Amino acid sequence: MILATTGCHTYYGCDEDHDDDDRPPVTRRDAGPPDARVADPDAGDASCVVDGDCAPGRRCDEGVCSPADRCESDGDCDAGLVCDHRGTCVPPSGCRGNADCDTGEVCVEGACRPVDDTCANDLECGPDHGCIDNACRPRCDDATDCDAGFECSSGLCVPADECETSAECPDGEHCVDTRCVAPCTDDAACAPGEICTAGWCRPDVSPRPFCTSDADCAAGHPCVDGLCRTTCESGTDEECQRADVHLVTCATTRTGLRLCLTHREASPECVTRSDCDAGEACVDATCR
């Protein structure tokens, strides 16, 4: 199997100089024998929905698998095309990395989202999840704690390469950027814990608010962006440190309130994966 060497094709391929040898092997689900969704390499009339329904060297063109150039990187393809995970030149679909999104947006689960609508640290993800690359992911000790199609990395369940073509996916799912996903028109069509993102059922990785109003918090602690906060009316760090040793800084936030912040909130090493070196992820505001 040819894997592209540039561009963000998978969770582990978001850095253009990332070495393919560092990527985990494709994990095949128990999907049974290949079916008619994947074209025979010598056939040109197989029906398809996405490029992953076709064999390597073919792309989905108006519902039919058609011949396409092979590639090892985006530079091998004609203008307007990218090298997908099958080593095939195809039109871009969705985002592959933050570089594909507008300023102030990040690429999460194949779609560009405003960075303010994603998590920045573990506090915003609730007790059973952690924040990695602006996505709230379930915590894990090892791979057995994660659902099919995910592996345990940095203590969190992150997407794993699980398919090259749709033949490796369960019936009714398609291979999109090495992930087996089901089509959808709204959230109701997706399984619990998933939402409809850009036409595909994807894990809900949105921040998980602890509170929705001040009434959910202890007296004197306002609910700000889903978290119960400690205020510091004096504007001094000492006021915060007297309240909690983990609250090190008093800062005026975008809400206009003076709030006590943890060290990682006040001085994050990273906000997105783009702030980290190649091969690193942004985990709880720290490059790892």
Residue 263: predicted pLDDT: 93
Residue 125 · residue 38 · CB < 8 Å: no
> CA geometry: angle at 178 spanning 176 and 184, to 5°?
30
pLDDT tens across 142-183, in order?
A: 999 999 999 999 999 999 999 999 999 999 999 999 999 999
pLDDT at residue number 94: 87
- pLDDT at position 21 is 43
User: pLDDT per residue over 38-71, tens digit each?
Assistant: 545 445 568 999 999 999 999 999 999 999 999 9
Tokens of 48: 């398809």
> DSSP string spanning 147-173?
-TTEEEETTEEEE----SSGGGS-TT-
Residue 229 main-chain phi, psi, to 5 deg: -115, 160
As to burial, measured by CB atoms within 10 angstroms (0-12 exposed, 13-18 middle, 19+ buried), residue 221 is middle
For the chain, the C-alpha Rg in angstroms (whole number) is 22
Strands, E assignment, 85-210: 89-90, 105-108, 111-114, 129-132, 135-138, 150-153, 156-159, 174-176, 179-181, 194-197, 200-203
The tokens describing 213, both together, are: 């109003």
Q: Residue 142 burial by CB count (10 A; 0-12/13-18/19+): exposed, middle or buried?
A: exposed
Note the pLDDT of residue 15.
43
Burial of 238 (0-12, 13-18, 19+ CB in 10 A): exposed
Spatial CB neighbours of 218, under 8 Å, sequence gap ≥ 6 = 228
Spell out, as residue ranges, where the chain has pLDDT lower than 70.
Answer: 1-45
Alpha-carbon dihedral sign for residues 118, 129, 218, 233: negative
